[in-house]
Chain A
Amino acid sequence: MQKNKAVTTSDAKSLNALLHDVGQHKDKDAFMSLFDYFAPRIKSYLLKGGLSEDEADELAQETMFMVWQKADSYAPDIAAASTWIFTIARNKRTDFFRKSGRAIVQPPENFYDLKSEETSPFDSFYDQEVSGDIDEALKELSAEQMDIIKKAYYEDKPHAQIAKETGLPLGTVKSRIRLAMEKLRKALDARGHVRADQEEGGR
């Protein structure tokens, strides 16, 4: 993976600031830094959802192009760049499966263990941006709860299908997710985690 040599670790802007620059100034260098960071992660997310290598590569590019097109609507005080870009990737994936009408491929069992194949000097810098609150809150989940949450996010399957594939009763799948979300909400509340738009009462 090539890196944008114009940006160094010491002066690297935060992901949120880079996305803001793309939106406000159509800054191509800022966008390419985002591309270098996010495109491989989006591709990995799509592969976990059952897309082929070529499909995932293509859709990751389409996702990033949409990031470019819609960046002017991004507000860094409302959502993290990672959240905003995740929602675009998620919607792209949903549209892909809807349009193709294709059955979803089960990813290999060890796919959840996939970690970065490549690292860059920016990765650790950017990783620090991820909300520490959420990081801490997620640690409070049991392994079973975390596993179900990941299955739901990565595999593009409704709860009923997860239940069928895991052999767990549907009620167990639903209750694990519900309890996990309640635990997360409480943990975040305890940390005073409030997004700016929630304080103002609307995005």
Chain B
Amino acid sequence: MVRIIKTDNGQELIFEYAAGVLDEARRFMIEAQRQVNAQCKADIDLCEDIGGYLLIKDCGAAAMKPSARDKMRALLDDVMDDDGQHQQTMRSVSESQCAATVDMLKSFGLRGELIDHLERSCRTGGAQSNWSKLTNAVHFVNVDSGCSKSKMRLVRVAAGTQIPEHSHRSEEITLVLKGSMDDEFGHYEAGDLIVRQE
């Protein structure tokens, strides 16, 4: 039996994301939601503004080591000449074999470091980076959750079809990236986050 414990677009997860206490897998989910859900983004922006405020107004200042300033300036001097070469290296990344998957995710509005992670995950995932068939209507691809305790996968469900009934031993977080879906508890549109627990 699946029980929904939160359908509030993950307000608690959003706060924990902004405070930096989520594990990698949950962090990816909330980052993805931020990119496709305007309200989620506004909530995170507010929480991060508070973080910036606390950093300046509340944290206090702890003296750096006396050598810190010189060390930083020396580091800048070193990298100034290397910057051009570094950019060149970044651009020469080999063509991804899973470009289609990445393009699809970009078309849903995902971007930035999240897309970089997913692309890297696809590229290094070997056979795991191929779409697998669960049923004729449901395909999935595993991606690196960045966290040994969690698994993350992209799931593609053909319009008008059903995901086979299933259960999980622990928490399941679903972010609708495109289209909409229904379950026994409600209707969800793109950008909605559903957190379920057995």
Contact = CB atoms under 8 A, between A and B. Distances in A.
Interface residues of B, number: 47
A167 to B, nearest CB: 19
Contacts of A38: 55
Contact of B68 (A61, A68, A127, A185): A61
Interface in B45-88: 45-65, 68-69, 71-73, 75-76, 79-80, 83
B46 A130 contact: no
B46 A181 contact: yes
Interface of A: 1-2, 26, 28, 31-32, 35-36, 38-45, 47-48, 56-57, 60-61, 64-65, 68-69, 79-87, 89-91, 93-94, 98, 114-118, 126-127, 130-131, 134-135, 138, 149-150, 152-154, 156-159, 174, 177-178, 181, 184-185, 188, 195, 197-198, 201-203
Nearest to B42: A198
A43 B16 contact: no
Contacts, number: 175
A31 B59 contact: no
B62 to A, nearest CB: 4
Interface in B136-194: none
B69 A36 contact: yes
A152 B15 contact: yes
9 contacts: A28-B80, A39-B68, A41-B55, A44-B59, A79-B52, A86-B51, A153-B50, A156-B20, A195-B49
B16 A158 contact: yes
B8 to A, nearest CB: 9
A39 B52 CA distance: 13
Contacts of B52: 79-86, 130
Contact of B65 (A26, A57, A181): A57
A80 to B, nearest CB: 6
Contacts of B63: 1, 40, 43, 117-118
A57 B68 contact: yes
Contacts of A150: 54, 58
Contact of A41 (B12, B41, B56): B56
**Residue of B16, B38, B51 contacting most chain A CB atoms (<10 Å):** B51
Given A41-B59, A68-B76, A156-B20, 11 more contacts: A41-B55, A57-B68, A69-B79, A79-B45, A89-B55, A114-B60, A134-B50, A138-B50, A156-B21, A178-B12, A181-B47
A126 B50 CA distance: 16
Contact of A31 (B11, B71, B76): B76
